[in-house]
Each structure stands twice: as C-alpha cells, then as structure tokens.
C-alpha cells in the first residue's frame, strides 16, 4: 500500500480552512481534504507536536504508545518536513505554510519574513496561543508570536500539557500550538530506538492522551504530528549525540505521522 505523502506546509492552510479564516499569504499548498472532512467547522483547532516523534520512531515504539497508536488506527497520513529537518524551520513551516526560503526562520530567535496563522486568526478577531518549554522552539518562537505566550520554566513537558489546558480553559484561543520538547532531547542523548528512550515514549503517550482528551472536551479539533524524525547514530560514530535528524543523511528523518480527532 503506498499512500500519498503530504507536505508539512499543507497544515497551515488546512487549519485556516477549518477555522474559516484565509490562509497565510505565503502558504502555497491546498488544504488536506482528508483532515477537512473530519474537522471542518470546528470553532477551535489545537496542533500538538511531540518533537522528533517521526514516522520511524513511532513505528518502532507504537506498541508502547497505545493512545497515540489508537488515534492513528482511525485517522492517519504521512507528512514530509521541509529542509533542513530542524525544529524551528519546521514549526515555522507549520504556522506559515511556507518553506525556509520564504518564511526565513532558521533558528528560534529569528523573525518570520511572512504571515502566519497567528496573524490571520488575529485579523479575523480571534486569539492564538503558543506553548512550550523556555529555551525551546515552543518557548522562544511560538510563545513569542502568539497572542497568549505559554512559556514553561524550568522545562517540563507535564507542565507544558497543563499550561496548554489552562490557556484553553481560561482564554479559549481559536488556534493553539504546543511543542512537547522532551522526546527530541532524550533521543539526542540516548538514541531514538534505544531501550533508554522507552520512559519518554510512555510519558509522551500519557501526555498526548491527557492533552487530546482535555482539548476535545473543550471543543477543539486536535491535530497531532511532529516536526521531524530522528535516527540512531552508529556506536562507532564519535559524535556526542546518539540520535540525530538530517534527511540528507537518513531520508526518513523527514517523514512524520499525522493524526487528528474532534
Ligand atoms: Zn533535535
């Protein structure tokens, strides 16, 4: 079975269409009909991204992620990240619908060179929220551009989950995007398929369950995806990292699973 692979830049126009607002100006892809079919007309959308939980990593650990795997068994597609397969570049692609040469954000402290979902939601009279750990793309980029900054310090993905739910309960932003940063950090340190990664995998599945069930009960359509995958760095490699992401080395690092629920 060979299913279509969608560009990650199709997510921003899809979220815009669900919300009934115009797509950011530099988004070039059409919305993804498969997602629209289920989410169209939702008043609010949440995008949840466990960092580096790409296709290869999820496939390796799927039995240890019963909640996320259950979502994928119902609704599933594969997205391709933009180059380079780095976190800030792909979160910027998620909110603008553009590639790096257009959105211009190659690290989390730079400025976007084009419009984002934060802008078009604001223009339509709604608010947005961006949530993540301080020092990460979530805290340094998403929280900086959103109307409601959800910056968690010290870094703690459980606190990121609670911050997301609290902002949704208290402010009901129409668009909220959340980065769970711990998977990427742990995979870099131990390798994404190493036995030592099982703890963060189980923790992340529990966090995805809490956030998805909470957000759905608050009336959100929720899209769960990742920014890129990771591969194990060979034991003989002198790198201090045991996991890395670069699709020029391992092409599958660009593929991420996407599921959605309402
Ligand atoms: Zn990384």
Mean pLDDT over residues 83-94, rounded? Answer: 98
Distance 227 CA to ligand 1 centre (A): 10
Torsion of CA 133, 137, 141, 144, to 10 degrees: 0
Tokens standing for 155? 């870094």
| pLDDT higher than 90, residue 257 | yes
Residues facing residue 175 across a β-bridge:
45, 128
- Residue 138's pLDDT is 98
Distance 170 CA to ligand 1 centre (A): 32
Distance 246 CA to ligand 1 centre (A): 9
Distance 52 CA to ligand 1 centre (A): 7
Cα Rg of the chain (Å, integer): 17
Of the candidates 262, 259, 260, which has an alpha carbon nearest to the alpha carbon of residue 58? 259
Distance 147 CA to ligand 1 centre (A): 26
Cα 110 to Cα 131: distance, rounded to the nearest angstrom: 17
Range of the domain at 176: 5-261
User: Look-up: residue for tokens 């979160």?
Assistant: 91
Q: Near ion ligand 1, which residues have CB within 5 Å?
A: 184
Asked if 169 and 218 touch (Cβ cutoff 8 Å), the reply is yes
> In this predicted model, what pLDDT tens digit does every residue of 186-211 receive, in sequence order?
999 999 999 999 999 999 999 999 99
Asked if 16 and 24 touch (Cβ cutoff 8 Å), the reply is yes
Distance 233 CA to ligand 1 centre (A): 13
The string over 16-49, giving b where at least 16 C-beta atoms fall within 10 Å of a residue's C-beta and e elsewhere, is bbbbebebbebbebebbebbeeebbebebbbbbb
Half-sphere exposure of 211 (CA within 13 A, CB side): 32
- CATH label of the domain that carries residue 154: 3.40.720.10
On the 0-12 / 13-18 / 19+ scale of CB atoms within 10 A, 158 is middle
Mean pLDDT score across all residues of the chain:
97
| pLDDT higher than 60, residue 85 | yes
> In this predicted model, what pLDDT tens digit does every residue of 214-238 receive, in sequence order?
999 999 999 999 999 999 999 999 9
Domain count, the chain: 1
**Quick one: pLDDT band at residue 3, thresholds 50, 70, 90?**
confident
- Residue 2's pLDDT is 57
Residues facing residue 79 across a β-bridge:
6, 256
Distance 256 CA to ligand 1 centre (A): 14
The percentage of residues in the chain with a pLDDT greater than 70, rounded to a whole number, is 99
């Amino acid at each position: 079975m060979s299913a279509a692979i969608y560009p990650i830049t199709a997510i921003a126009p899809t979220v815009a269409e669900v919300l009934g607002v115009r797509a950011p100006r530099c988004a070039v892809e059409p919305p993804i009909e498969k997602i629209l079919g289920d989410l169209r007309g939702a008043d609010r959308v949440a995008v949840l991204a466990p960092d580096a939980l790409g296709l290869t990593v999820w496939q390796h650990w799927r039995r240890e992620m019963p909640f996320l795997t259950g979502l994928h068994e119902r609704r599933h597609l594969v997205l391709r990240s933009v180059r380079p397969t780095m976190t800030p570049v792909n979160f910027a692609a998620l909110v603008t619908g553009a590639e790096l040469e257009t959105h211009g954000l190659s690290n989390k402290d730079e400025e976007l060179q084009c419009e984002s979902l934060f802008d078009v939601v604001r223009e339509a009279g709604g608010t947005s929220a961006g949530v993540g750990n301080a020092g990460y793309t979530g805290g340094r980029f998403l929280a900086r551009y959103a109307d409601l900054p959800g910056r968690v310090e010290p870094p703690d993905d459980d606190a990121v989950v609670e911050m997301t739910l609290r902002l949704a309960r208290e402010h009901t932003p129409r668009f909220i995007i959340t980065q769970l940063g711990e998977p990427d950090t742990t995979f870099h340190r131990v390798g994404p398929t190493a036995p030592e990664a099982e703890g963060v995998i189980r923790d992340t599945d529990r966090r995805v369950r809490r956030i998805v069930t909470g957000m759905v009960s608050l009336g959100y359509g929720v899209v769960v995806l990742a920014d890129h995958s990771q591969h194990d760095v060979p034991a003989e490699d002198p790198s201090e990292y045991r996991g890395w992401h670069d699709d020029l080395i391992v092409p599958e690092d660009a593929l991420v699973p996407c599921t959605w629920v309402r």
